[in-house]
Structure 1
């Protein structure tokens, strides 16, 4: 009974240490909680009797981690999607159960590869945990929300590594730091080595990986603050059009940006007079707006962004669609969900993986991304080195009242750091923001405030190491650490066996 209680207590501790990491991210940004959460995970899984036991411990940690970090999906399913509360909560829990498989895999693999306890906690468990996190961000289109490394941006010295190894590299350094200190807590050399790495990150934060181009550009980012239950309602259609026309007329910037689906109808169904009013409100300046488009084939339509003031009407169509939100994976298995959801649009067609940025004026090459596409660092760099500035347009009213907008803004900060580019965020309800190439928030509009964010942004050219290598540097580092740990563990075991003989 005592042994079973101990195991239950450990699982509860692991789940709690995973759940508390939600406060490491924005808006709280208590980043030290991620260090502590990883330390608990590594310490307990490193002492597990078997790899199977370690996997269950990793699963308990992951279940707490994801239930806390993706709770906002419940709001979209129940409050705005119309799904019964019990079913929405069940769907969120099922997703958390799936996502928890990845830290479980990392714990099992790290325990199995670590032939001695100190190798497990110092090297193999940190490495396999981050490698499994990368797998989570790639497998079945991926879901890289709440990556460990993002929690450290832009507040800690580890941000200096972002232009080199990205958020997965930062996560690896953080996990290794936690593992080394858990393993060698009483050795000053361990603390000194971790401090040296972190100081190196601080020094790297002063390196200029990219170069400014031309003079700063004035920008206007509109935030209509239209509630989700009104955004697609036919009774509010004309009112919604008027809101963004009014904000466009207020805008003063050379580049005016409206959020995702600011025009809540297909372009082909939008009144011509309205499009002319929008153009007239800004010309000869530039206007970028989100608008869904129909394709040449039946049931083909796109979630798109258009440069409305260019005679050629350049278009960016969203490439990485949201599973269950913009398309149904395996309809035969999951199609039943749409009987319970009030979704205005679904079944989108993905755009091309590489699309040309919008050319605006003499220097600006604006690369759009839509909604949670800015979560995928490996895809954002597809626009480089041509793009001189990034823009994300989103409608996060689906998660109104949660921390989702704050968390996604922090991911946009990570993308700015990785690419050495300014990131503009134009959203319907928040957070509308201007982020510089160092990942710092220069200006932000309060959530749910109807207004235009006026500011300036700087174009940048050049490539960061991450823009060239993507996640390969982090993956190669993790793989090399595992190889060295395996070889050292094998040599250690051989030496021990000879000594016994």
Structure 2
């Protein structure tokens, strides 16, 4: 039990490397301790238990913001949020447990092979965590490299080549190097500490397009990003509807001489704008003649019964493109929905327990078909990723129709203080992987303009109303990851495993 408590504490400390704290050396130290503890046990079951206990602490601390979401649902007590965090962490901790068990089962004879196999297993299990049972990809280990807005770490360019899960494997190798130093395996440690990460980072730099200074008559589109600072507790309250809309009006600002591409947050307005022309025309009055607006709103799914009566049977969380005439010229429907937030699994059973969705409303959201590209006359093309969708590596843009940028309207207002900066860090990783700018607009922050290399060019701090005015960053050339997706990190895991087997065979 003492060993498991130490593993739990190491996991909890390792989560402090994520935003908002960004204490990444503690993350590497925690993982080095995990590797040492799981290597030194004598049974497979013990290796799994240590990995699981580590994961439990890691996820409880890193996902503490989920508990805040329950404070906005009057039908549920606030304390239930912490039970949800713990229960979710019980499940997610299985993946670190499997990684530790795989490394022990195959590579327990040699410290070097154990580290290589642990890194390979971590890549595989992190990818599985993002895939199985709808997936929960939040806070991959690689996110510690992007957790501070002004940080541009040495390893981040490597994400262009090996993706987020491959970068997570590199970080495990760095932690493994600390373990090997204490085991007096200095040359392998030096290779893991400098050789492999440096080679991957250089490969990432070599895939970048040469930077060019924008000309004085820069013709890139003008953008305005809106953050109205509307609290989640007031967002759906009819008593605040007029004030909330006025905040959008004020931050959208006066029309100008040059066309603007304006970004509003997820679910920016309560009206069903596809079915309510008057709501669209009211919004269109805020736009200049050549402006376009991208905004989030809900689309009702209507069916007609045999008696001819029409009724709403579901909804879609949608991103719309609107012109100054109030015409909707494009729509993207969110594909990766949040369980218990946007739909209620096992609805009949859960309702009998008195549990409902965290988001307001009786209708479940239905998923869209997946990544699509919207055509914006005069402004190029945009990929849509609504809120939580942006965390899924390799599944954010249409492979057949690569956009000029990705728009990520979000509602982070119910994510507490830890959720928004973690969300932003993961959006930065998507920008680097795809070589595309990412624009974020949220009600309470953190809204941002991120360039194609993951640099945060502009941002509006959490819980502040404001706007961002600037030029749309240019897209980079398609990265290796953009071309081949998660087949690259999985192949990287295969190479690490192959190297471990080769070393074991040589030792025999």
SS, match of residue 373 in structure 2: coil
Q: Deviations over 1:55-96 (max 9, x none)?
A: 000011000000001111111013445521332221221111
Contact 1:357 1:386 (8 Å CA) reproduced: no
Aligned to 1:308: 322
Q: Is 1:463 equivalent to 2:478 in the alignment?
A: yes
Pairing partner for 1:161 from 149, 158, 163: 158
Contact 1:209 1:462 (8 Å CA) reproduced: yes
Q: Is 1:423 equivalent to 2:420 in the alignment?
A: no
After superposition, the Cα gap between the structure-2 partners of 1:475 and 1:334, relative to the gap in structure 1 and judged at 3 Å, is farther
Aligned to 1:499: none
CA distance in 1, matches of 2:302, 2:474: 35
CA distance in 2, matches of 1:480, 1:206: 21
Give 1:110 deviation, angstroms: 1.4
Pairing partner for 2:292 from 286, 305, 312: 286
Q: How does 1:40-439 map to 2 (within 5 A)?
A: 40-80=33-73, 82-153=75-146, 155-185=152-182, 186-193=184-191, 194-204=193-203, 206-209=205-208, 215-250=219-254, 254-268=260-274, 270=276, 272-283=277-288, 284-297=290-303, 298-309=312-323, 311=327, 313-336=329-352, 339=355, 343-345=359-361, 346-361=363-378, 364-382=380-398, 386-400=402-416, 402-439=417-454
Q: Is 1:14 equivalent to 2:13 in the alignment?
A: no
Aligned to 1:4: none
CA distance in 1, matches of 2:22, 2:495: 31
Q: TM-score, normalised by structure 2?
A: 0.88
Larger helix percent:
1
CA distance in 1, matches of 2:160, 2:245: 40
CA distance in 1, matches of 2:58, 2:88: 12
Give 1:322 deviation, angstroms: 0.5
Q: Which moved more, 1:333-342 or 1:11-20?
A: 333-342
Gaps of 5+ in 1: 1-7, 496-501
CA distance in 2, matches of 1:299, 1:60: 43
CA distance in 2, matches of 1:210, 1:81: 51
After superposition, the Cα gap between the structure-2 partners of 1:200 and 1:223, relative to the gap in structure 1 and judged at 3 Å, is same
After superposition, the Cα gap between the structure-2 partners of 1:266 and 1:61, relative to the gap in structure 1 and judged at 3 Å, is same
Give 1:233 deviation, angstroms: 1.3
Q: How does 1:32-47 map to 2 (within 5 A)?
A: 32-47=25-40
SS, match of residue 293 in structure 2: strand
Aligned to 2:309: none
Residue-pair matches, total: 483
Q: CA RMSD in A?
A: 2.4
Aligned to 2:306: none
Gaps of 5+ in 2: 304-311
Give 1:296 deviation, angstroms: 4.1
Contact 1:181 1:190 (8 Å CA) reproduced: no
Contact 2:180 2:189 (8 Å CA) reproduced: no
SS, match of residue 157 in structure 1: coil
Contact 1:158 1:198 (8 Å CA) reproduced: yes
Q: Is 1:472 equivalent to 2:478 in the alignment?
A: no
Q: Deviations over 1:400-453 (max 9, x none)?
A: 4x2100000000110111111111110010001111111111111121222222
CA distance in 2, matches of 1:247, 1:28: 30
Q: Which moved more, 1:454-463 or 1:255-264?
A: 454-463
